[in-house]
Amino acid sequence: MLYSGNNENLNSEGGVKTITVAYGDGIGPEIMEATLKIIMAAGAKIKIETIEIGESVYKKGISSGIEPSAWDKLRKTRVFLKAPITTPEGGGFKSLNVTVRKTLGLFANVRPCLSYYPFVDTKHPNMDVVIVRENEEDLYGGIEHRQTDEVYQCLKLITRPGSEKVIRYAFEYAKRYNRKKVTCFTKDNIMKMTDGLFHKVFDEIAVEYPDIESEHWIVDIGAAKLADTPENFDVIVMPNLYGDILSDVAAQIAGSVGLAGSANIGSDFAMFEAIHGSAPRRAGQNLANPSGLLLAAVQMLVHIGQGNVAENVHNAWLSTIEEGIHTYDIYDSSISKEKVGTREFTDAVIAHLGKKPEKLKAVTYPPKGDPIIIKLKDRKPSVKKLVGVDVFLDWKGDVDNLGKNLEKIAYPEFQLAMITNRGTKVYPNGVPETFIVDHMRCRFQSAENNNSVTNQQVISLLSRLVSAELPPIKTENLYTFDGQLGFSLGQGQ
Ligand code: NAD
């Protein structure tokens, strides 16, 4: 299977690429206008098709926030420059960003976070970090359930291909942009199977890139180090939730979330956006800083093979920042020369086209950059064997009574291995101090340890439970894969 930040198959006429643009809500239209004005002045060869997204679409009762017809336009252009939108308050609305990322298979979210010291105030003058966030899975599947009166659940899914795509992308990105180190953050000391897989895939892929240093940190201490000494990091790859949180932290400590752009890269599609929101209180006042979206557009220009235009725009922007021409959000009377509005800032960047920064580091991009191609390794599927079932019961009361009852129900194919409550063993040999809620996970394994059981035997067990007025609220089959346990043990098991 091939995955690419693809610029080959984009529709083009005489080198002109058609892109899809959404103006969004709040400050969106102003910063989009500014961005397009600058890149067109720099000579971007693009044709624009617009789609409507966000508040106005939600208000029509479309819970995804995007018109169904917009997908056809996106499918045609495969490049999407998107302004921020306002997510309506209250339930019933799906996050448009998550929908677009997942529907279009945008597996890597790339967020460069660098400081522009001394022109933008920061405690970290030498920060230059690129966060590569997994973008499609983890806790973002939106698979949530209320299972009992007291318990709610959100499913965390980490897949081997999903991990491999984003981790390979991080290493390929490091190689392409001459970066020296890729760091991985996970919490695999706790989530040994899910985060453990991400870490394992990272280690497997790292050895294929001997020229790039690799390291892994548990996310809590890693995050602390990132906030304290970001200059020690280069490219950081992580699962979705940690990446969501830490890329905002990284952008903010670099100077301002208002300055960071991001690229969402998929096999055939890519979406580019600022990382900030629609800032509704600043809308329509010629105040907003268009830099985040402009830098996202720079990433887009590189992606569509117009690296020379990207370089011109980026260097003009750096020169403008260096000259102290700043919007209100980064204006500081001790550093800045002029406080300007969105339109004036736009005109200043245009006036700097063709110039290179003198103090900040000028950027260079390959004029026609080839796409980054990600090839997944072929794997032999493992041999899977059913060895038991975890049955979740909505139940509160005397755990020893429940355990003894379940031991009888399990007989003869199964044995009750344990009962846990929120992951902690409460039977056999529970302790009175453990706090208990109405959610019992009862583990039934084959009567002969780790021998296989049949699906029919599982169904018969479930039916015996229903007859005993212990209806399961959820079951989770227990498998081994090539003889390795495919499930975690309970705490205290
Ligand atoms: P926000 O990013 O819109 O604003 C946070 C703060 O930063 C505000 O003080 C704002 O004035 C300032 N700010 C942000 N961008 C700025 C810019 N370009 N120039 C100057 N100042 C800027 O976050 P929020 O207030 O939490 O969210 C507002 C709305 O945006 C919500 O409806 C939220 O759901 C939505 N949102 C959308 C996206 C997106 O579309 N990608 C991302 C985040 C939030």
Domain CATH code at residue 86: 3.40.718.10
Count CB-CB contacts under 10 A for residue 72. 10
Residue 11 pLDDT > 60, yes or no? no
pLDDT of 410 reads 96
Mutate to test the pocket of ligand 1, among 86, 135, 276, 340 (most ligand atoms within 8 A of CB): 276
Q: Is 258 a pocket residue for ligand 1 (Cβ < 6 Å)?
A: yes
Within-domain flag for 170? yes
Average pLDDT score over the chain: 93
Q: pLDDT, tens digit, for every residue of 86-115?
A: 988 777 777 888 888 888 999 999 999 999
- Does residue 374 sit within a domain? no
In a shared domain, residues 341 and 396: no
User: Is the pLDDT score of 287 beyond 90?
Assistant: yes
- Domain region containing 468: 384-485
The residue from 330, 351, 372 where one domain ends is 351
Indicate the pTM of the whole model. 0.92
In a domain, 220, yes or no: yes
121 and 187 together in one domain: yes
Domain presence at residue 367: no
Residue 93, judged by CB atoms within 10 A of its CB (0-12, 13-18, 19+), counts as: middle
* Same structural domain, 418 and 339: no
Distance between alpha carbon 267 and the CA centroid of its chain, in Å?
16
Which residue lies with its CA nearest to atom 23 of ligand 1? 277
Minimal CA–CA distance to 261: which of 216, 315, 314? 314
User: What angle do helix axes 28-41 and 342-351 make, rounded to 10 degrees?
Assistant: 10
Residue 292 domain-assigned (yes or no)? yes
Q: Please name the residue that has the structure tokens 């004005």.
A: 37
Rounded Cα distance between 286 and 388, Å, is 63
Same domain, yes or no, for 421 and 292? no
pLDDT of residue 4: 39
46 and 87, same domain (yes or no):
yes
447-483, pLDDT tens digit by residue? 876 689 999 999 999 999 999 999 999 999 999 999 9
What's the farthest any 2 CA atoms get from each other in the chain?
82
Question: Quick check: CB of 7 below 6 Å from ligand 1?
Answer: no
How confident is the model at residue 15, as a pLDDT? 84
Is residue 13's pLDDT more than 80?
Answer: no
398 and 328, same domain (yes or no): no
- Considering the domain architecture, whether residues 85 and 224 belong to the same structural domain is answered as yes
Alpha-carbon gap, residue 1 to 208, rounded angstroms: 18
Domain assignment present for 180:
yes
Tens of pLDDT, residue by residue over 126-158, are 999 999 999 999 999 889 999 999 999 999 999
Name, of 268-272, 317-321, 331-335, 431-435, the range with top average pLDDT: 317-321
Q: Do 248 and 275 contact (CB within 8 A), yes or no?
A: yes
Distance 361 CA to ligand 1 centre (A): 28
Last residue of a domain, one of 351, 374, 398: 351
Among 335, 351, 367, identify where a domain stops: 351
Whether residue 35 is found in the same domain as residue 111 = yes
Res. 2 pLDDT band, cuts 50 70 90: very low
For 478, list phi and psi in degrees, rounded to 5: -105, 125
**Distance between CA atoms of residues 190 and 326, nearest Å:** 45
E strands in 115-199: 128-134, 144-146, 152-154, 181-186
Regarding whether 342 and 413 lie in a shared domain, the answer is no
Total structural domains within the chain: 2
The CATH number that applies at residue 414 is: 3.30.70.1570
With a CB cutoff of 8 Å and minimum separation 6, the contacts of 62 are 68
Q: What is the DSSP letter of 445?
A: E
pLDDT tens-digit series, residues 49-98: 999 999 989 988 888 899 888 999 999 999 999 999 998 877 777 788 88
In a domain, 377, yes or no: no
Evaluate: CB of 295 within 6 angstroms of ligand 1: no
